[in-house]
Structure 1
Amino acid sequence: MIRTRFAPSPTGFLHIGGARTALFSWAYARHHGGKFILRVEDTDLARSTPEAVQAIIDGMNWLGLTHDEGPFYQTQRMDRYKVVITEMLATGTAYHCFTTPEELDRMREEQRAKGLKPRYDGAWRPEPGKTLPTPPAGALPVVRFRNPVAGVVAWDDLVKGYIEIANAELDDLVIARADGTPTYNFCVVVDDWEMGITHVIRGDDHVNNTPRQINILKSLGAEVPLYAHLSMILGDDGQKLSKRHGAVSIMQYDDEGYLPEAVLNYLARLGWSHGDEEVFSMQQFCAWFDLDHITPSAAQFNTEKLNWLNAHYLKLSDNARLAALVQPRLEERGVTITASPSLEAIIGIYKERVSTLNELADAAEVFYIDLHPKAEILAQHLTPEALPALADFISGVKDVTWEAAAIGALIKACIGKHGLKMPKLAMPLRVLLTGQTQTPSVDAVLALFPRELALKRLAVAPVN
């Protein structure tokens, strides 16, 4: 059975890159009828926080990337890691090293001065016929993995292709600190082994970890999973993704008014393609997804494309669902929703014109607040030419049937009587009713208002 995992470190939020890794791992498991495991790699006790753990879980839940097993926490598996380290010490695949941090620093400085790659010199590595130094009194050793010195470590990366590293390039990795706590690369190996992970799908910043992890897995007699390293994501400007263009918490996209299905659809196309398909459901994505069509080159984040996708999904969404998402955004602004006009009805005529839920909230807000259109906008559109037609409309609308068709007929009658074009009357009506110059059809907007509220707003016009 295919078993994939998403293994974030809770030292920050779940960002776009992590969310894409989670999505691809989730989709690969779903495509093959396998299992998707969530594992929290929280061994960095100084930087890991419960808030970051919760932020990651919240982000996964918002996206709908449900896990089949977990979440597993590495801090709860410390005893198991220590057992494995003890076994490795007994079999000789690991050893105690008493080299101090200060000695390591001096060693590396000397190597750099000679033009050599800085690395541990193997002073405490056991070898046949070698006499080891006497351990310093009272010193606590680290534990190092006894990396092979000959040959190569190689793998067929499912995204990047064949990769080969000479073992001579790898020094003996510390797998347990002097205080006994295991290190990241070691915990990952034990977890992937014991959780039966078959495919490790992760960012290409982990490529340098892979040969070390493969060697440790082989020393344990464990089956080596297949690896797929995803390329980085660049910002709109082609630079490394930063906070100003995407490297933010995935939940910020919720705050900014994006729908999770739009974000998922967008993430799916960051480095993967299925022909010319741009818009698709997660069911379709899971049916299509494979690792063969992931590009090894960097993907580029495009905010304009994300906005386009979000607008598409807003148009398709049920008005009641959108109202439930918009209402708390209005309430956060201190806006009280009334029964009339209906928030669902407002959304029904505005959702075709916006890109985010926040823009929907902006449009809906004007129906519920005490509106005071800007004097300069009123002066611009309530022109002497328009006022006679506006006066006739205000007089007639008091008795018209309160529906868009009847209101629209009255508007046409008024502009026809005064020889005007539609914008000459429609624009004054828009700014009086909403304070905005861009709205859906003004007769449909007017019909949303309770008649009394509409007349109150129209009364601002200097037509008497």
Structure 2
Amino acid sequence: MFHVGGARSALYNWAVARQAGGTFVLRVEDTDTARNKPEWTDGIINALAAIGIHEDDPAFEGPYFQSHNAARHMEAGLRLYDADRAYYCDCTRQQLRERTGSEHLGYDGHCRERALTPDEGRALRFRTPDEGETVVTDLVRGTPAFPNSAIEDFVLARGDGSPVFLIANVVDDLDEGITLVVRGEEHLSNTPKQQLLWEALGAEPPRWAHLPVIVNEKRQKLSKRRDKVALEDYLADGFLPEAMVNYLMLLGWGPGGDREILPYEEMEQLFRLEDVNTSPAFFDVKKLTAFNGEYIRALAPEQFAAACAPWLIAPHAPWAPEEFDTALFEAAAPLAQTRLTVLSEITACVDFLFLTEPVREEGSWNKAMKPGADALLRDARTALTTTIWQADELKAALVTVGERHGLKLGKAQAPIRVALTGRTVGLPLFESMELLGRERVLARLDAAREELATRAQAPS
């Protein structure tokens, strides 16, 4: 699944590429065969498309597959070996542990001067300079410096001859003409090693930009084991892609001023990597949900109806297809649009219109059906038998019924709402009654009274 952090990185890359008239390169790093399936690549492409990054756009290039370039990776490693910038090592992890007394210390350089030749089981290691420091020019973080003495002689190719991530990345970047790398800050520790490889291969490193880590409400880094992190999961729950894009762009950056909700096209023009913060970015689901509600309310009626469509059919909808009435939904849609924060809420919002009997929430029933509810439902039924069937007339009738029982409208309508919709909250009651029609309203009031009588006779 596509991590929201990856989505944010992609959007930042996309904005910079399009600003500069450059190219956004999608590379699938598929050298780990256990984590490589074609459908996962399709998932990445589909997720990118959902947030507006389309492979048919002139600014999009790829996907390239790292596994297709393995020969070039190894060729670069051998070139470094021939130039004495790398050497072969036959140390095992057990030997290193015995020499250092720890599993956590880096490589101790034991094979640096042994002049081992290539052979099975021998890893190829980069010869890190003994002195000086490697300075990374980072558009977000300035110029962090890394003492070379703290950088171990890292592996370029394993004992079986397969190249590792570091050299594969550098060679692919070189071959694909990468001039800017925008990624999460967890990769910053790799950057001095990659920069050393760029320089050793005789090329100028790209510009770097390491984005702030995204954290949850406990200020812990978002984790797929603990948090909801997949872009697809949010979209499946009814978050609009436009709202997700808007919110993701603000995880570490802001357009300035008080505005936060604005179209991507405008954010793209305003975005600057130099303005990205270094502080952790809090993924606030409540704020995202509020954003989404704003975007839902801004939809044109036909857009809203189309966006709701997936939640109006199986497996989301609890009604049979033949029970769904398109015209009735279109009449209810404007009432629902002002209340939804995620599109998936539409099912529960309108289900009372299409089900023979409403879904009765036990908590709502117990909350609304207090002593005196039966008498109120009885009088409401009597009043509604002859009331003109328009929302304002229905409201006036129930105001009168409520006053007769010493109740303000808010209290008086609670048992009626639950009788008709099964819930204490939902669409405006009187407009809902108008949509349901007199016959169904009266039948549900009768059914609620029968249920009250049944419960009253049940043994306690």
Residue in 2 that maps onto 1:370: 356
Is the 8 Å Cα contact of residues 9 and 184 (structure 2) preserved in structure 1? yes
SS in 1 for 2:447: coil
Residue 410 of structure 1 and its aligned partner are, at CA, apart by 4.8
Is the 8 Å Cα contact of residues 107 and 152 (structure 2) preserved in structure 1? yes
Report which stretch shifted further, 215-224 or 87-96: 87-96
Is the 8 Å Cα contact of residues 206 and 229 (structure 1) preserved in structure 2? yes
Residue 425 of structure 1 and its aligned partner are, at CA, apart by 4.5
Residue correspondences, number: 438
2:443 pairs with 1:456? yes
Residue in 1 that maps onto 2:43: 55
Distance 1:182 1:100 in 2: 18
Residue 422 of structure 1 and its aligned partner are, at CA, apart by 2.7
Residue identity opposite 1:249 in structure 2: A
2:423 pairs with 1:436? yes
SS in 2 for 1:258: coil
Residue identity opposite 1:183 in structure 2: V
Aligned equivalent of 2:308, options 297, 310, 326: 326
Report which stretch shifted further, 449-458 or 413-422: 413-422
SS in 2 for 1:28: helix
Is the 8 Å Cα contact of residues 50 and 241 (structure 2) preserved in structure 1? yes
Residue identity opposite 1:17 in structure 2: G
Q: Which runs of structure 2 are paired with 1:382-421 in the superposition (5 Å)? A: 383=373, 386-387=376-377, 389-397=379-387, 400-401=388-389, 403-408=390-395, 410-411=397-398, 421=408
Residue 201 of structure 1 and its aligned partner are, at CA, apart by 0.8
Report which stretch shifted further, 81-90 or 69-78: 81-90
Distance 1:244 1:431 in 2: 39
2:187 pairs with 1:206? yes
Is the 8 Å Cα contact of residues 405 and 443 (structure 1) preserved in structure 2? yes
SS in 1 for 2:25: strand
Residue 424 of structure 1 and its aligned partner are, at CA, apart by 5.1
Is the 8 Å Cα contact of residues 166 and 194 (structure 2) preserved in structure 1? yes
Residue 419 of structure 1 and its aligned partner are, at CA, apart by 7.8
TM-score, L = length of structure 1: 0.84
Residue in 2 that maps onto 1:132: 115
Distance 1:111 1:363 in 2: 57
Gaps of 5+ in 2: 451-460
Gaps of 5+ in 1: 1-12, 126-130
Residue in 2 that maps onto 1:356: 342
2:279 pairs with 1:297? yes
SS in 1 for 2:369: helix
2:98 pairs with 1:98? no
Is the 8 Å Cα contact of residues 369 and 415 (structure 2) preserved in structure 1? no
Aligned equivalent of 1:187, options 150, 168, 186: 168
Change (3 A) 1:281 1:161: same
Residue identity opposite 1:215 in structure 2: L
Q: Which runs of structure 2 are paired with 1:139-178 in the superposition (5 Å)? A: 139-178=120-159
Change (3 A) 1:89 1:242: closer
Percent identical across equivalent pairs? 32
Residue in 2 that maps onto 1:342: 328
Residue identity opposite 1:209 in structure 2: N
Residue in 2 that maps onto 1:26: 14
2:410 pairs with 1:423? yes
Residue identity opposite 1:448 in structure 2: L
SS in 2 for 1:347: helix
SS in 1 for 2:440: helix
Aligned equivalent of 2:31, options 10, 20, 43: 43
Is the 8 Å Cα contact of residues 340 and 449 (structure 1) preserved in structure 2? no
Distance 1:83 1:354 in 2: 57
Distance 1:86 1:352 in 2: 64
Is the 8 Å Cα contact of residues 235 and 245 (structure 1) preserved in structure 2? no
SS in 1 for 2:273: coil
Report which stretch shifted further, 340-349 or 183-192: 340-349
Residue in 2 that maps onto 1:6: none
